[in-house]
Structure 1
Amino acid sequence: MARKAVRRARVEDVHHLALGMPHVTVYPGTEHKPVYQVGGKSFVFFRNPRPDAYDSETGERYDDVIVFWAPNQGDKLAMVQDDSSPFFTTPHFDGHLSVLLRASRIGEISHNELAEVVQEAWLSRASARRRATWLEEHLTE
């Protein structure tokens, strides 16, 4: 029996997965670097270049950073402390439940892993009622 190849994640998948979650809106005016929200709370967004995320060799600011909310500090640390993980953080995000990922490294994770990250981000920001409804619908499948 042949094993199915793992599909690597792509940037387009972030958009598709985020918009596929219920009650999602894109913050107005962010169409080129979307900020995906649920109930007015951001859960995934494409960040403008900032001084805290840069190439240590050239000093050039990263222009392809995607921010994902993490469910809790333990999950965040597990994602950013694993040396094989493309997820990272910066001192700017100390104490903030989010992780960063460069779009140029998104192919280092699978589509399924990305889907889980987006779903967890949405779940961490959605209202209790919306979260319970989504979990009920998806845990019984």
Structure 2
Amino acid sequence: MSRPATPDDIDGICRALPEVELGTSWGDRPTYKVPAGPKGRGFLLYRAPGATAIDPASGEPFDDLLVIRTGSESDKAALVDDDRLPFFTVPHFRGYNAVLVQESRLGEIALDELTEIIEDAWLAVAPARLRKEFLEERGHG
């Protein structure tokens, strides 16, 4: 097992993927997108605190949430339902293939596992050509 992940790992994992840029979406939220440029689709977003995601312990909006895309509803459920992992969802995300995780809890995830989850997020939105090249390079094509 690899070392625990940290918030500092996010940028390196995302930028190691083909044709990724850090842009914005949902208004002004920092978002990793593929491909670079105006047609880019977000796969990992730094979410602003809001009334739709409240920390049950404090009653305040979470202030360190990441939104990570998933390939399907079943992929989302697998992450949320795995008691080892800190992923969760909120009613606001019903029907949207993405999970939430607090940056402060990334240490509960092994770096290699977080890398795979982010790669899967990238695969969920990347253009077909990039997906094919990426998977072929890893011997999955």
Same fold (TM over 0.5): yes
- Cα deviation for residue 139 of structure 1 reads 2.1
Higher-Rg member (1/2): 1
Q: Give the secondary structure class of the aligned counterpart of 2:55.
A: coil
- Cα deviation for residue 70 of structure 1 reads 0.4
The equivalences for 1:19-30 within 5 A come to 19-28=15-24
Task: Give the letter for the 1:37 counterpart.
Answer: K
The equivalences for 1:1-141 within 5 A come to 6-28=2-24, 34-39=30-35, 40-139=40-139
Task: Measure the CA separation in 1 of the matches of 2:131 and 2:29.
Answer: 26
What is the total number of aligned residue pairs between the two structures?
135
Superimposed CA distance per residue, residues 48-81 of structure 1 (whole angstroms, 9 cap, x where no aligned partner): 1011212213211111000110011111001112
- Cα deviation for residue 6 of structure 1 reads 3.1
Alignment TM-score, normalising by the size of structure 2: 0.88
For structure 1, list consecutive stretches of 5 or more residues without a partner in the other structure: none
Instruction: Report % sequence identity.
Output: 39
RMSD: 1.9
- Cα deviation for residue 83 of structure 1 reads 2.6
Q: Give the secondary structure class of the aligned counterpart of 2:77.
A: helix
Task: Measure the CA separation in 2 of the matches of 1:112 and 1:128.
Answer: 24
Say whether the 8 Å CA contact 2:25–2:31 is kept in structure 1.
Answer: no
Superimposed CA distance per residue, residues 73-117 of structure 1 (whole angstroms, 9 cap, x where no aligned partner): 111001112233200000000000000110010000000001001
For structure 2, list consecutive stretches of 5 or more residues without a partner in the other structure: none
Task: Measure the CA separation in 1 of the matches of 2:24 and 2:73.
Answer: 29
